Amino acid sequence: MNIKQLLVEKALAALSAAGAPEGTNPAVTQSTRPQFGDYQINGAMGAAKALKTNPRELAQKIIDNLDVADLAEKVEIAGPGFINIHLKPEFLANRLMTAEQDVKLGVASHAKPQKVVVDFSSPNLAKEMHVGHLRSTIIGDAVVRALEFRGDTVIRQNHMGDWGTQFGMLIAHLEDLLNQGVDLEKVALADLETFYRDAKKRFDDEEGFADKARDYVVKLQGGDAHCAKLWQLFIDTSVKHSEEVYGKLNVTLKRDDIMAESAYNDALAGVITTLQAKGLAVEDQGAQVVFLDELANKDGEPSAFIVQKSGGGFLYATTDLAACDYRSNQLGADRILIFVDARQSLHFSQVELTARKAGFLRDETSYEFCPFGTMMGDDGKPFKTRTGGTVKLADLLEEAIGRATEKLAARESDLSAEARAEIARKVGIGAVKYADLSKHRTSDYIFNWDSMLSFEGATAPYLQYAYTRVSSIFRKANVDSSNLVGAIVIDEAQEKALALKLLQLEEVLDLMISEATPHVLCGYLYELASLYMSFYEACPILKEDVAKETRESRLILCNLVAKTLATGLDLLGIEVMEQM
């Protein structure tokens, strides 16, 4: 049980003994400043209101009933009735010694693991992955890693867009190129962007091509073998492009995680039948539409959710309804998390409302649309190339590595060229990821090379550097960090602050998991690194006159900092190195 949970239990018992109404929220939080203690119990105010009594008096009663002798050295009332808890250094030291023995640093597995379906990355295969998919991919991946670290069962779902009318045009173009003997991977599909543009140009300008393209869509959807083969060729190459990007990004998605739109084809007709049978879908101008009063506009007109086009074609919406059914009813998900651009929020509200009414989503399944904001350029407009085109993810990552290489070249180093290239790769990719992950998921943010690659402030290079500094101590001391003896003794304020932060990893992960927000972990690691720097300044470790026990204790703290930084960064998909 983490410290917060422990205090919640104790606070609940004390509140009840003090006569607070059943179900009072104890409102236990981490204190924001050392003078407010380490944790606060803020539930006295709410309870006093309900009881119509004086909150400070009630707070005193709560304290009288609070059984924290083992863990707190001081408990005091502040302001209108806050209860500030100052933890005992020995309590923190003991907990840390236990955490030190654990590969997961004391982070326990959920007592009741959940089955969580996570829909992330999900690029459209007609084109190359662009920066819009960067956010979905790395935010989703970080949340997935944290869920698994906490013991939940995660089913990754890469809901790739591999179906739709544009594929008619693409395979018609592909067929012509193949007939001309063009090498598929090296030439025709080496650059999907160009391929798409060429096909589109022919579709718009070339006589007869559009007809052929439309004919191929119908054939493809009807299961024609020749068209299916061309389509498969196209999809395979496109998937390979995505996999290259995943590899570069150090993302955990594998081919098996692909559950593309086309996988739901056979279920789509059934979705419509069910919606009709339940009286949810009705015909409107030849199309099948679900009208949703819950999402009505100002004039009271219900929102129209089209689930089948007038020609009989199915849509993105139909597929998402089938996906709900699969994930909730077949996979048995407790939670479904979907990481998609905020601009699709109406769509997902429509999907959830409809799916709940139709029984495609069980009540027990929570459906969590996790939107994210837009990545902006320095000009404050959506991130584009200088000529206004979409930035390819692969190019962006290459540029990140190139810039990191330049930056690192300016530092002195006796490492081999190979080792330095490897470091530059980790720094460049880490910088892009941390810059993105550290912003609140829902806000737009400005993509800026200089700030993300800086060695100062909350950046990946700063944290990676902090890690190398901590590990260098063991090299300097000529001590094997896996073989530390002695015990933690906390005397100095900087030691206590560091110890407390180290013990809060699980609390941070819980927040990150419940809200699907990696930025809280980013913030935590930055605070940890900063506290380490203050500790390092104030608390000598290897100096001659430092007592042996103190040195041992501080080395254990260093080791825990190193392990926590490495673990935390790994949960963000960011790699560390021993030297920089």
Residues that bind ligand ARG (CB under 6 A): 119, 122-124, 159, 161, 320, 323, 338, 340
Least distance CB 341 / ligand ARG (angstroms): 7
CA angle 534, 146, 567 (to 5 degrees): 40
Least distance CB 476 / ligand ARG (angstroms): 49
Least distance CB 122 / ligand ARG (angstroms): 4
- 453, 432, 197, 371: CA torsion to nearest 10: -140
Please write down the HEC assignment for all residues of 516-571.
CCCHHHHHHHHHHHHHHHHHHHHCCCCCCCCCHHHHHHHHHHHHHHHHHHHHHHHH
For 314, the token pair is: 């199915």
Residue number with CB closer to ligand ARG (135 or 501): 135
DSSP state of 294: G
Residue number with CB closer to ligand ARG (92 or 317): 317
Residue number with CB closer to ligand ARG (130 or 202): 130
For 121, the token pair is: 């990355």
Least distance CB 232 / ligand ARG (angstroms): 19
Residue number with CB closer to ligand ARG (174 or 322): 322
- Cα→Cα distances 339→107, 132, 319, 396, Å: 25, 11, 16, 21
Least distance CB 261 / ligand ARG (angstroms): 8
Q: Are 532 and 561 in contact (CB under 8 A)?
A: yes
Chain centroid to CA 11: how far?
A: 32
Residue number with CB closer to ligand ARG (329 or 413): 329
The whole-angstrom separation of Cα 534 and Cα 476 is 19
Strands (E), 281-323: 281-284, 287-292, 303-308
- Cα→Cα distances 343→340, 385, 442, Å: 8, 21, 11
Q: Are 98 and 106 in contact (CB under 8 A)?
A: yes
Residue number with CB closer to ligand ARG (268 or 338): 338
The whole-angstrom separation of Cα 78 and Cα 92 is 23
The whole-angstrom separation of Cα 31 and Cα 41 is 9
Least distance CB 323 / ligand ARG (angstroms): 6
Helices (H) and strands (E) in the chain, counts: 20, 13
Residue number with CB closer to ligand ARG (162 or 506): 162
Residue number with CB closer to ligand ARG (244 or 570): 244
Residue ranges in 250-386 assigned as alpha helix (H): 265-277, 316-324, 345-358
Residue number with CB closer to ligand ARG (126 or 528): 126
Half-sphere exposure of 558 (CA within 13 A, CB side): 30
Residue number with CB closer to ligand ARG (93 or 323): 323
Least distance CB 326 / ligand ARG (angstroms): 11
Least distance CB 319 / ligand ARG (angstroms): 7
Residue number with CB closer to ligand ARG (323 or 423): 323
Least distance CB 123 / ligand ARG (angstroms): 6
Least distance CB 222 / ligand ARG (angstroms): 24
DSSP state of 443: S
Least distance CB 344 / ligand ARG (angstroms): 7
What are the residues facing 84 on neighbouring strands?
40, 76
The whole-angstrom separation of Cα 479 and Cα 28 is 40
Pairing of strands 153-157, 115-119: parallel
Least distance CB 320 / ligand ARG (angstroms): 5
Q: Are 154 and 110 in contact (CB under 8 A)?
A: no
The whole-angstrom separation of Cα 508 and Cα 524 is 7
Residue number with CB closer to ligand ARG (119 or 352): 119
